[in-house]
Amino acid sequence: MGIADFGTIALMAAFAVCVYGTVVPHLGVKNNNWNLIRSAQNASILSFLLIAIASAVLLQALLVSDFSLRYVWEHSSTDMPLFYKVSSFWGGLEGSLLFWVLVQSFFAMIVAFRYQYSNREIIPYVIATLNAIMAFLLLLLIGWSNPLDLQGVIPLEGRGLNPLLQNPAMAIHPPSLYLGFIGFSVPFAFAMGGLILGKMDNEWVLTTRRWTLTAWYFLSAGLILGGQWAYEELGWGGFWAWDPVENAAFMPWLTGTAFLHSVMIQEKRNMLKIWNVVLIILTFGLTIVGTFLTRSGIINSVHAFTQSEIGPAFLIFLAFVLVIGFGLLFKRIQMLESEHKIESVLCRENAFLAQNVLLVGIAFTVLLGTTFPLLAEAVRGTKLSIQAPFFNTIIAPMGYLLLLLMGIGTLIAWRKSSWEGLQRNFKNPLILATAGTVFLAWFLADRDLLWSVHTIFWLTIFVTSTIVLEIVKAVQAKSSQTKSNFIMALFYVIARNPRRYGGLLIHFGVVLMFLGFAGTFFKVERNMTLESGVPQEIGEYSLEFKQMEEFKVGNATHRAAIVNVFDKEGNFLEVLKPAKSFYPTQPQPLTEVAIRRSFLEDLYLIFSSENGGEQDSITLRVFINPLVGWAWMALPVFTLGVGLSMSYRPKSLVAHETILRERYLAAQALNS
Amino acid sequence: MWTSWKFWVVWGLIIGLIALLAFGFTTDPKKVPSPLVGRPAPDFEITALNGAEKIRLSEFKGKPVLLNYWASWCQECKVEAHILEAFHQKYGSATQQIKVIGIAIQDTPDKAKSFARQFGKTYFLGLDDAAGNIALDYGIYGVPETFFIDPEGTIFYKHIGAVNAELLEKKFKPFF
């Protein structure tokens, strides 16, 4: 028996432990036997360790290139840099599923112990739910896609990680998405726990707030990194194409964002309890739908994912999640009816509600667009494909409305706002947005901008000015009150309410993303044939082809065109080397784009062809992509914003947790 | 407030979604039926990319024809490029058992030529006219698409996406 079999046995044992962890907490509650629940808690350590052992076995095999494992042979090769050997752990279906279970079991372990005193009533059901999810994933792993499967003949060299995936952004993009997907399982488990327990106060929402934020952050980061990867690797000059695989990750992000906002209404106003449960079931369900769509091969995608037999099993998992989730919800629905009604039309609750409806509407549109080819075939028997224009036409206006609501939501009060107050608050942002848009229209008059661009400019200036004015107002008040300078006052204001300012910062990140999208509406795209030594102008640049060069990058050979970039005045800026790369394990060459990044725009070169003939010449596809970099800047802004929001914990929750913990420890002391 | 119709709508949607996704297993997204299968292949005349030769499809009656639509901008076409060439080497140029024709659509002569050079293509390559008339006759949905034509000039199979060597061997076996 080899080490790989040992890993497989560890996975089987982990499956048994997870089944145990699913059943035992229920028995513990039924028999009022806390020892059983304690045992389930300890089992979560055991299952994590077992899965970690299996993961270590796979990692070790990848590092030493042990091709007796089929997965190692399929996804790595001896000449790959260490970094990519590690990242091929999640580079393929089987490995990524193991990675998923590993993280899931780690989260389950933390949850089992972190909330043992503070959420004593609900925690047995939370442990059971998380264990059930893990048991299902382990079953899929062992039964259909075990990365530790051996193969009879041991090849000398592996097939290598798909060169397209050999990019730093791609190495961290999938784990980031998975962290997001898995993170949502915790609020989902708490919601299910509450439903089974039959006690649905606001506890689950408050307790899981940081989990939700973390999950949302990683999902956002995963999406941004994915866009960055597409932009750098795929060589078509864009970063988002409404491909089913992208949509799969986007849908849970949309419902997750809606959830993040609507739980605030539950927290502040004790409303929308049913809706929040619906949203978390949808969000968790959509992470499964997403994984299913990308892995089952039922929908045509440009992404060359390995298809596998795992599809039907995943579909059963999805059915389970939806049926049990909604079944429990309907069983407990009376418990969840709201105690409050919305008091006025003009209030933040309504802005949030409208935002929720829009986000869910977008998610539904994306789901419909993604599955429509199937629907058409099922109903009419016709084949069709839904392309980017469908999504852009329908979703863009919804996106604009969202942006508008983001601005309104910032300035409108909870419960009730007066017309006069609104007029006062909105006057300046409206003036600024309109003036700014007119100025930009004049400034960029030669670019021939579309209406969408003006719309986005107006909206982004509007939202930004609501954010800035809000902060300025608070800081001014603070500084005159405490007689401190502006910087100190800013610090006080943020420290007093980090959650609010974190949120505003995240909104600003969204503004940046929209500006990045706006840039795609006025990008310049041209094919240029350059003869060596003869410069040609495009936009603000002048490009001069020197010669062809060949060099090694990692395990690939690049055949690159050396292109000097000058500005219009003839000042030298940079050498760009757009290339074709040849990987030893791949039959066809890949495109390596060369990008000159600057604050306002990117110069983006794709090497199309070398043309023979008397004079050396090459053909390039040249893009000038305005504002692209701004979309990437959203990530650090999100990081800061989420960090600020996370630093806040509701006072009531902290007090509640402390009391429960002390009460528990006192009871322990009495018993002993 | 949660009246029964809401209950049924939710369950209807869940069951509908699961059923739809399950239906997905019965179909192959790469397979698009063509009304042309079983019909005579529309005839066309086309000049070779290198300008040397002009052919007409009907000239090849009596011999099976592999008709491949491609483009230099198409990624999948690169995947199948060496497979088509190898098939031509084996049954086309060596034994003359089959005629392989590649027609580039929505392409420019320069780019198409450089694609052919890059992948060492030796079988007949032509470029559709600017209006894409030949592609229209064949109802091309996207590239690559490949039509399998029997010696009588009837289309007996159509494949969407990159072809593989086994498929080509299997489909043309009856004629060799």
Please write the tens of the pLDDT for every residue from A73-97: 888 888 888 888 999 898 888 898 9
DSSP code of residue A446: G
Task: Tell me which of B124 and A299 has the higher pLDDT.
Answer: B124
Residue A200: name the closest of A286, A272, A101, A287 by CA: A272
Number of structural domains in chain B: 1
Query: Residue A385: its chain B contacts at CB < 8 A?
Result: 142
Question: Does a cis peptide bond (omega within 30 degrees of 0) precede residue B144?
Answer: yes
Rounded (10°) angle between helices A209-229 and A185-197: 150
Buried b (16+ CB within 10 A) or exposed e, B127-146: bbeeeeebbeebebeebbbb
Whether residue A103 has pLDDT greater than 70: yes
Burial of residue A47 (number of CB atoms within 10 Å: 0-12, 13-18, 19+): buried
| Residue B9 within any structural domain of the chain | no
Angle at A118 between CA A115 and CA A123, to 5 degrees: 50
Please write the tens of the pLDDT for every residue from A363-375: 999 999 888 888 8
Q: Do A371 and B33 touch (CB under 8 A)?
A: no
pTM comes to: 0.82
* DSSP secondary structure letters along A535-556: -EEETTEEEEEEEEEEEEETTE
Residue A245 pLDDT:
81
pLDDT band at A297 (very low <50, low <70, confident <90, very high): low
**What tokens appear for A230 in the block?**
């597409």
Whether residue A558 has pLDDT greater than 60: yes
Residue B1 pLDDT:
46
Q: Do A374 and B33 touch (CB under 8 A)?
A: no
Per the listing, tokens 């450089």 go with B114
Residue A339 pLDDT:
65
Query: Residue B75: its chain A contacts at CB < 8 A?
Result: 302
Strand B99-104 versus strand B124-127 pairing type: parallel
Residue B3 pLDDT:
59
Contacts of A107 (CB under 8 A, 6+ apart): A130, A182, A183, A185, A186
Mean pLDDT calculated for residue range A104-125: 92
**What tokens appear for A430 in the block?**
């409206």
How far apart, in whole angstroms, are the C-alpha atoms of residue A188 and residue A282?
A: 9
| Residue B17 within any structural domain of the chain | no
Whether residue B161 has pLDDT greater than 80: no
**What tokens appear for A44 in the block?**
């979560």
Q: What is the mean pLDDT of chain A?
A: 87
Buried b (16+ CB within 10 A) or exposed e, A569-581: eeeeeeebbbbbb
How far apart, in whole angstroms, are the C-alpha atoms of residue B107 and residue A422?
A: 57
Supply the Cα-derived Rg of chain B in whole angstroms.
21
Mean pLDDT calculated for residue range B7-32: 80
Is A155 in the B-facing interface, judged by CB distances under 8 Å? no
Angle at A126 between CA A120 and CA A132, to 5 degrees: 150
Q: Which chain A residue has the Cα nearest residue B73?
A: A608
Per the listing, tokens 């039964």 go with A143
Whether residue A391 contacts residue A242, with contact meaning beta carbons closer than 8 Å, is answered with yes
Query: How many Cβ atoms are within 10 Å of A391's Cβ, its own excluded?
Result: 20
Residue A308 pLDDT:
62
How far apart, in whole angstroms, are the C-alpha atoms of residue A482 and residue A137?
A: 56
CATH fold, domain A524-629, is Tick-borne Encephalitis virus Glycoprotein; domain 1 (2.60.98)
Mean pLDDT calculated for residue range A176-188: 94
Query: How many Cβ atoms are within 10 Å of B30's Cβ, its own excluded?
Result: 11
Whether residue A3 has pLDDT greater than 80: yes
Query: Residue A275: its chain B contacts at CB < 8 A?
Result: none
Share of chain B above pLDDT 90, in %: 20
**What tokens appear for A244 in the block?**
């089913």
Residue A306 pLDDT:
52
How far apart, in whole angstroms, are the C-alpha atoms of residue A299 and residue A377?
A: 12
Give the number of C-alpha atoms closer than 13 A to the C-alpha of residue A257, restricted to the C-beta side: 22
Whether residue A1 has pLDDT greater than 70: no
Whether residue A303 has pLDDT greater than 60: no
Please write the tens of the pLDDT for every residue from A4-13: 899 999 999 9
Q: Which chain A residue has the Cα nearest residue B24?
A: A298
- Which CATH number characterizes residue B100's domain? 3.40.30.10
Facing residue for A319 by CB, picked from B18, B75, B142? B18
pLDDT band at B5 (very low <50, low <70, confident <90, very high): confident
Residue A413: name the closest of A510, A268, A273, A256 by CA: A268
pLDDT band at A304 (very low <50, low <70, confident <90, very high): very low
Burial of residue A3 (number of CB atoms within 10 Å: 0-12, 13-18, 19+): middle
Per the listing, tokens 């649905």 go with A200
Interface ipTM: 0.76
Whether residue A296 has pLDDT greater than 90: no
Residue A254 pLDDT:
96
Is A570 in the B-facing interface, judged by CB distances under 8 Å? no
Residue A150's DSSP bridge partners are A69
**What tokens appear for A45 in the block?**
């350590």
Query: Number of A:B CB contacts under 8 A?
Result: 75
CA–centroid distance for A477 within its chain:
37
Mean pLDDT calculated for residue range A600-622: 82
Give the number of C-alpha atoms closer than 13 A to the C-alpha of residue A99, restricted to the C-beta side: 21
Residue A47: name the closest of A16, A89, A91, A90 by CA: A16
Task: Tell me which of A169 and A194 has the higher pLDDT.
Answer: A194
Burial of residue A481 (number of CB atoms within 10 Å: 0-12, 13-18, 19+): exposed
Question: Could you state, in order of their start, the residue ranges of all structural domains in chain A?
Answer: 1-165, 167-415, 524-629
Whether residue B74 has pLDDT greater than 80: no
Please write the tens of the pLDDT for every residue from A14-65: 999 999 999 999 999 999 998 999 999 999 999 999 999 999 999 999 999 9
How far apart, in whole angstroms, are the C-alpha atoms of residue A287 and residue A420?
A: 44
How far apart, in whole angstroms, are the C-alpha atoms of residue A170 and residue A161?
A: 11
**Greatest extent of chain A over all pairs of C-alpha atoms, in Å:** 96
Facing residue for A323 by CB, picked from B14, B20, B111? B14
H-state helical runs in A270-334: 273-296, 311-331
Whether residue A607 contacts residue A578, with contact meaning beta carbons closer than 8 Å, is answered with yes
How far apart, in whole angstroms, are the C-alpha atoms of residue A563 and residue A576?
A: 5
Query: How many Cβ atoms are within 10 Å of A154's Cβ, its own excluded?
Result: 11
Q: In what order do the strands lie in the sheet with B65-70?
A: B124-127, B99-104, B65-70, B145-149, B155-160
How far apart, in whole angstroms, are the C-alpha atoms of residue A396 and residue A456?
A: 10
Mean pLDDT calculated for residue range B64-83: 84
Q: Do B111 and A323 touch (CB under 8 A)?
A: no
Q: Which chain B residue has the Cα nearest residue A590?
A: B75
Alpha-carbon distance A556 to nearest alpha carbon in chain B (angstroms) = 18
Q: Do B18 and A326 touch (CB under 8 A)?
A: no
Which of these ranges, A236-245, A316-325, B41-50, has the smallest mean pLDDT? A236-245
